[in-house]
Every structure is written in structure tokens, then in C-alpha cells.
Amino acid sequence: MLFATISILSLASKAQHVIEGSILGHPQQNISLLEYFGDKHRFVDSTRTDGNGWFSIHLNKNTPAGLYSLAIESSPLFNFIYNNEDVTLKYELGENKLPEFIFSIENLIYYDYMVQVDRFLQKANMLTDMLRFYNEKDSFYLYTEAHFYSLQNEFRLYTERINEEYPHTLASHIVKNDRPVMFPRDFNWDGFLEFNRAHYLDETDFNDTLLLSTNVLTGKAIDYMSFYSNSNMNKEAQEYYFIQAVDTILHRAMENGRVYDFLMEYLIEGFDMYGFDKVISHIAETYEPAHSCVNEDRKSELQKRVENLRKLAVGQTAPDIEIKRPDGSSFRIEDINNEHILVLFWASWCPHCEAMIPDIKKLYKDNNIVNFEVLSISIDTSASDYSSALAAQANGWINYSDFNGWDTQAAIDYSIYATPSMFLLDKNRTILARPVSVGDLRNALINIKP
């Protein structure tokens, strides 16, 4: 039915295209168009729906092909493809349904694939679990195996038909790179993890820069990491396996400088968020941003971040922080009279900071934990917001803000991209730990030898 429906449509070349449709249940309200870049959204345009929820956004001929989202405020409702064609759709707010595309070749293909791949994976995952753990000599095993291979081949034929009949669509690029790996006949299911580690990325085209404007590369990276993840491992062992996954991804991505840089930055941000310092250090020490990167500004930012990660690894000497007192005198980390110092970056508008700081305060006052001082650096820009937050905290440690936000010199020197961020130092400014949570901080303090 999909292919018959698409055959009556045509890809018309126009100077300007329009994204339009109705958002039922959202009359006379603002709606935004967001552009996808990996796992991030970037604002493109906005408009207001009429009394029936109808909207219309006009795009010029230079609007790049890619995955986009319609959003209410900053919350995306659904993704769709724009690729030099008009898109007409209908979406019912609050019904948890997929959007209906009245006109758009790309999205008829894309959404049919999304439905089909979801159905395939639900069935395939159940069947592979049986094949991995069931007695292979049982007749039910043989029936399950035959059914799995039939299902796999049927789905592969479906994706091949899309790629053969619509090779110039962005949807076909997504399908080709997103579709699941094929397991060979007579496969030894005891080698399930090893096979995926070796072959899961075989059909990913790391030279396809169109994928940068979709969520395919980030999705493949996350899925690939799952083959190295084990909740029963301790953090050190888990980092060891994640490093293997990172090496595979980045070595394959070296085919294209833009894709390589994109994935390097994505992996750094992801592991930094979860406090996998050894993985971050490995990336920073082993890899350099690609020299072939087209966007020189982006390359220099990534290069700077990698260099800062090397400087800020555990065991390195942390940058000094100079604080200007109201009387004009200066105050530095070395002036803090304590064997251990926690440098904490936070902001009054950060909900995670608000939740974490009371627990840090408990540790700060805990006589059973090694004594430490806190140097709290706010990246606020509002003096009144900062003062109100400090009054509520009543923390008793050293607090400072120059109200320059992310341009605060300490935030730049410590390569701060998110709050809260913490660095545990000794009196010589050696970095002892980079805790992500209060639990990490507690463990780091407990492990300090007297």
C-alpha cells in the first residue's frame, strides 16, 4: 500500500516550500520548528495556529534537508523529514498517536519504516532471546529459528525495496543506516554479543554526512554501547569495556572528518554527563579532532575542549582560580587553608544544583567524612537571583560570582559546559576526583587516605 500511495505523488522543485497542517487541540497557540543535529534541536522558526489549530511555515530553497521537529515551547511533539518538498500533516495533541501525513513522499516512507521496524524488533527480540537461551535440540527451537530467519529476510527485502525505488530520498539514507544487523543462517547464538560488537556497525555509512542532520548516528552509537554495558560491573570494569566501544566507533568514523568530529564530541559529552572520567581521558589522550573538518570554528572549539579535558584529567593540576574581593584584593585557591577543596560550579536557575547542594552541605558538616572546604563558583548573571539562592542555601562555605555567566574565567578554565560540575582537589590543586553525584563525592572522600 505504501509504494502504491507514493507512486501517485511527485517531488516538485520549487523556490519555496511550506510545512503546514493542523495540530488538533492547540488552537491559537505558538508552535516552533526545530532542526535536528544529532541529539540536539536548533530553533528554525515559529508561528501561531489559527482557531482550528492550522499552521503554516514557509521555508526558503536553502533550507537544508534533515530531520525536523514541531514543538510546543521547547518540547518536541514529533520528528519528520524535510527534503525540498511541501509537507502537509495532521496531528492530534494528547492522543499519543503518530502524525498523519497528507502530503510528503519522504514522511510516508519514513513513518511506514518506523512502524515496520518497531514491529520487526518486537518480534525479533523475543525470538532471539529464545534462540539464545533455549535448548537447541528441542523441536520448538528449530521452529523458532526458521521463523526468525523468515522474519529477518522479509524485513530486509522491505528495506531493500525502499532503497531501490527511492534512492534519492533522505528516508532511504535513514533506512539503509538504521536497519538492524542481519544474522547468518546456522548462527551460534552463544556468540550474540561478540557478533554484534564485530558487525553491528558494518552497514553504517560514516561518509554519509546527511546523517548528521538526523538521529541515526547517535542512535547507532548508543545501541552499540549497549553491547558493552553490564549493570553487574563496577565502574572501573565498565569503563574498560566502554573504551573498547569508543575505539571501534571512532576508528570507523575516521572515514569522514565531519562525522568523526561530531561523534567524538557526542561521546565526550555523554561520558562527561555520567562521570566516566577514564573514558573521557582516553578519548582526549588518544584522538585528535579531524584536520579535514569543514567548519573551522567548530573544529577549534572541539580542539579546545579536547585539550582542556587532557589538562583536567584526574591526577593533573587544576587551574588556579582568582577571586576579586570587594576591596580590590585577590584571593586564590592556595589561600584556602584546607587539605582538600571541592570546586563546585552551579547556578541559581539550575534545578539539579538546587537538589544537590543540600546533600553536599550534609557532607560538608559530616564529622565522619574527611574535612574539606568548598569553593562555590556561580555562573549566574543576575546578582539578585544569586543573592536569593545563597540566602536559601545558608551553606557556610566560600561563594563567588562575577555575574559573567558561562564567560566567567573559572568556568572557561575548567571547561564547564553544564551545571552542577565538581572537582575535588588536594592542597596542591591536584585533581583527586571529578564526581558527578553526591554519592561519587562521598566515595571519593571516603577513599582519601589520611
Q: Same structural domain for residues 136 and 247?
A: yes
User: What confidence score (pLDDT) does residue 8 get?
Assistant: 45
Residue 166 within a domain: yes
What is the model's pTM? 0.74
Last residue of a domain, one of 311, 340, 361: 311
User: What confidence score (pLDDT) does residue 157 get?
Assistant: 97
User: What confidence score (pLDDT) does residue 41 get?
Assistant: 87
Number of H helices, E strands in the chain: 14, 15
Q: How do beta strands 54-60 and 16-24 pair?
A: antiparallel
Let me know how long the chain is: 450
Residue 317 within a domain: no
Last residue of a domain, one of 244, 276, 311: 311
CA distances from 231 to 40, 222, 263, 273, 441 (A): 27, 15, 24, 18, 21
Q: Same structural domain for residues 250 and 328?
A: no
What tens digit of pLDDT does each residue of 114-157 get? 999 999 999 999 999 999 988 888 888 889 999 999 999 999 99
Q: How do beta strands 87-92 and 373-378 pair?
A: unpaired
Local structure of 417: helix, strand or coil: coil
Instruction: Name the nearest CA neighbour of 180 among 135, 130, 131, 122.
Output: 122
| Number of structural domains found in the chain | 3
Do residues 34 and 67 make contact, with C-beta atoms less than 8 angstroms apart? Answer: no
CATH code of the domain covering residue 40: 2.60.40.10
Q: Same structural domain for residues 30 and 128?
A: no
Residue 417 within a domain: yes
Tell me whether residue 448 is exposed, middle or buried, using C-beta atoms within 10 angstroms of its C-beta: 0 to 12, 13 to 18, 19 or more: middle
Residue found under cell 553491547: 227
Residue 208 within a domain: yes
d(CA 244, CA 249): 9
User: What confidence score (pLDDT) does residue 2 get?
Assistant: 59
User: What confidence score (pLDDT) does residue 228 get?
Assistant: 96
Q: Same structural domain for residues 128 and 269?
A: yes
Do residues 266 and 37 make contact, with C-beta atoms less than 8 angstroms apart? Answer: no
Instruction: Name the nearest CA neighbour of 19 among 60, 72, 75.
Output: 60
d(CA 20, CA 102): 10
Question: Is residue 341 within a helix (H) or strand (E), and if so which, with residue range?
Answer: strand 340-346
Local structure of 301: helix, strand or coil: helix
What tens digit of pLDDT does each residue of 47-80 get? 999 999 999 999 988 899 999 999 998 889 999 9
User: What confidence score (pLDDT) does residue 1 get?
Assistant: 52
Instruction: Name the nearest CA neighbour of 432 among 337, 332, 317, 338.
Output: 317
Q: Which residues pair with 31 in a beta bridge?
A: 47
Task: Show the low-confidence residues of the chain (pLDDT under 50).
Answer: 7-12, 292-294, 298
DSSP assignment of 29-48 equals -EEEEEEEETTEEEEEEEEE
Q: Same structural domain for residues 221 and 306?
A: yes
